[in-house]
Structure formats: structure tokens, C-alpha cells
Structure 1
Amino acid sequence: MSEPKLPSLRTVIVEDEPIAMLQMKSMLQGCPTIEIVGEARNGKQALDVIQDVQPDLVFLDIQMPVLTGFEVLKALQGDTLPLIVFTTAYEEYAVQAFDLHAVDYLLKPFSEERLNKALARVMERWQLAEEDQKGTLLQAVEFILNKGEGPSVSAGAEPKLAIKESGEVLLIPQTEIDWVDAAGDYMCIHSKGQTHIQRCTMKQLLEKLDSRRFCRIHRSTVVNVDRITKVIPHTKGESFLMLDCGEKLKVSRNCREAIQQFLAS
């Protein structure tokens, strides 16, 4: 299996010293995860460039003409700020830099090894932000699907389950789900011959599923009752369900009454 391709972060360099600017560009140009999309020589230029190109990452010098790096960051407007790595020759600014939630603080002159450590922190922060963003998107999709009212089904509407998969949100009609089984902290959702993985608890999943269609038949198994074609009695009060997809599921003794009520309704 090939490793996932790392993103290329659109990067702006803000540096008032020409030699330091050339050194920074030289170090970054060989990095496959960095795409330099702008540069600035002072704080005013930095604001204009950052607002114009909307970068993912900014290497921001602190001591500059017109505006300092701190003043630039405070002046930036918008819901999503770029990741910031401060650069400076003055060690005393470190605490203030991290108070402003900088990813890292590079003390000049810094080595390529130290820069690579900063880039590793940048990628880690970027990936965390991406996960948060996906989680927010998934919550928004689920809210829209359920209209903020849980898994109840509106007239004429077919409920769907939102699943994060390969960086996207997959919407699966609940009528197409055959059964679900738990594997630790993950739910395996079986639909039309495919298995989709969702990280959540069984309780959380049940809250999203249509309670008029899905029944828990085991502590780790939920079935779509519309998929049941046959009930096969077994010993000690247990039984098996045959589904129209050919799957055979065990019904625990504790869940026997629940499935009987479903099938009788």
C-alpha cells in the first residue's frame, strides 16, 4: 500500500534582511511539502501579501520596519489564520511568540536540521487542523440530514448515515445498510457488499440510525430488520437471522425479545 501524499503548503516568507531571505528560500525550495507563493520585506507588505494570497503557512520575521511580526499577526483578520513560524535573532521574544500560538520559533542563524524540525511540527499541526475540519464537516452534514432532531425520518425523506472515508464524507442511505458490527472503538457498516468503517461507539451509532428500522441483536451487532429473510432457532434461547445478502447473524439471548417485538410489529 502506497503512503498518503503529503499536502503542499502554500507558504509566504516575511524577512527584511536580503541575505536571510535568500537563505530561507534556498532551504525551503528543496522541500516537497512547501510551495512558496509570496514574500515580503516589511510588516506592511506582509499584511498585503498574506491577505492577497491566503497562504497556509507564514515564516514571519519579528523585528521589521513599519510593523513588527507580532503587529502583523494581530492585524490579520479572518476566521482562518495561516500557520505561523516566527523567525528572529532575539531570544527574548520566544514566550510572546508562543503566547500568540505560533507553531514554532526559529532563532537566527538556524540550521537546515532545525528548520526541518519546525516543518515537522507544521505538518503535525496542519494534519490536526484537517482532522478537526473534517470532524466539523461531518457534524454539519449529520445535523442537516437529521435537521437537528436526531434520527427521526421526515415524510418523504430517506435518512442517510454520514461516514468519513478517505478524506471525504460518504452519505449512505440507511435503507441500504444490511447490518453493523463493532470492532473495538470502530463500527463496521455493511452495505451492498461493502464495509465502511466509522470510529464511534455503538451507542453513538444507534442514536443516528432510524430506530424503526434497526434493532440491536447482540452487544456488538445491529441489524436492518428489512433485510431479514429467516429466523433459525438455536439452543439456550439463542437464534440466528438469515439476511437477504446471505449473511447469518447470531441473536443473543438478552436481545431475543427485542427482535421478536420488531418482527411482530
Structure 2
Amino acid sequence: MNKLRTLIVDDEPLALKLLRVKLEKIQSIEIVGECKNGREAIAATLDLAPDIIFLDIQMPGLNGFDVVKGLQSDILPLIVFTTAYEQYALDAFDVHAVDYILKPIDDERIIRAVQRAQERLDGVDGQDNKPRILGAIDSINQTENPKQAVNKMLPGMLSSNVQVEKKVVIKDRDEITILKQSEIEWIDAAGDYVCLHAQGQTHIKRSTLKELLAELDENIFKRVHRSTIVNLNFIDKVIPHTKGEFFLLLGEFEKIKVSRNYKDAIKHFLLGE
């Protein structure tokens, strides 16, 4: 049995040390890296390609949910959240089959999480973990609020003004965010959700990629993977990868994988066609 390449992430040094000590006792685990914040976790995932991440949720800056939203579905490892979250959040995790370890960390729970991870990697179930996590996040964010009735009216009111720049409307709890399409850097699809990355933030929208594509400007948004779209205006560098694939660098931190099936879109862009 191949060992699970494991990344552990926690902003508390003592919690990080405790988790490392407990995981080192499990023969099927190989710890390949440790991170103390979300930004480091995203970078380490891209560089180390771990099989599984033990990821703290509550961290300053980018939290655990932000890390998941910030990674492409196609390269996202299995995630086990380590959390002291309230029970309603844990119920959401259970409903969407997302694994977690409740703090203080328990040896038995860690072993169960590792066993589940191995089972998913051995089967076909490990390929769609991002939609599950986004489903749990969406469930956690759902609240009953009187403003919801007003929110349902706003998208239609906004879209009726044909003079304004093209935008994407995102409803989140009792708020509505309106993103200019020109500010969206890339989009990652996961099941019935899409993650829109703009100006250092990631927004979840309940929508399929096909539905969103109908709204986007086809001149600047190109699909580069089966579930990933990029805004060509934000590409800073193209790095060749293996088997005809590429990596796109968007700004300082974003690194997007281009599959060989969609490389022609980037080729035409580089040639100015």
C-alpha cells in the first residue's frame, strides 16, 4: 500500500505539533509538509501535490474554507477538517459526507479519517470532494432572513439596466455581491456550484458552469480545464508542464492548470489570434 502524502495546516504551533505527532504513529501516512496559514496551504498544495490535507478551519486571513475555494477542483486533495466548530456546522459536514476531526483531537477519529481517505482514493469516490465541501459550506451559510424576499428581486432589477458593464450577481446569506466581469480572474466549477475569484476574494455561487458561461463575455473568458475558466486579461505567465499541459500564473499566488484538451485556447491567445 502506498503511503498517503499528507499536508497538515493549523495556525496554532501546539496544535500543529500535536497533529504531527499523532499522524506519525500511522504507518500509512507520510507527512510532506506543514503550513501555518491558508496562503501557505494553497502554495504547498500546488508544489507538493498531497493526497490528503488535515486542514484547520478557523485561521486568520484565509480560513480553511477559503483554501478549498481557492484550489481547482481537479487538483484538490482529499480534505479532513480539524475544527472546534459548533454542532450545526458538523451536521452540515455529515450531510455532505465531508470528514472532520473535532478538537481536542482524538486518536480514534484520526484513524477513521485516514481509513476513509484511503477508501476514497482506492475507489471512484475521491474525485468529487470539492462539490461536497461547497455543499456543506452552503448549508452552513443558509439563514432565514426577512431580507431574502428583497434579495430575490434585486438581480432582475439590476439586470434590467442594459447600459452598465456586464456583472455577475451572487447571493450569500442576507447579502448580494455584484462582481464586474472584468474583475473576475478565474472560475472553478464544482457540481452545482461555481467559485469566482476576484480581487483576492473567492465567492461561491449556486450555479452550474454551463449556466454561468451563458452570462460571460466569450471574448475574454476561456475554458482551460473541464471545470476551470480563466479571464485572459489576468494571465501573467504560461509555464509548460508534462504531456502537453500548462500552468498559468495569474498574479502572485494563483496557479491554474491547463489540460491538454483545452491547450488550443491558450495557444491562440499567445499567438494573438
- Give the alignment's TM-score, normalised by structure 1: 0.44
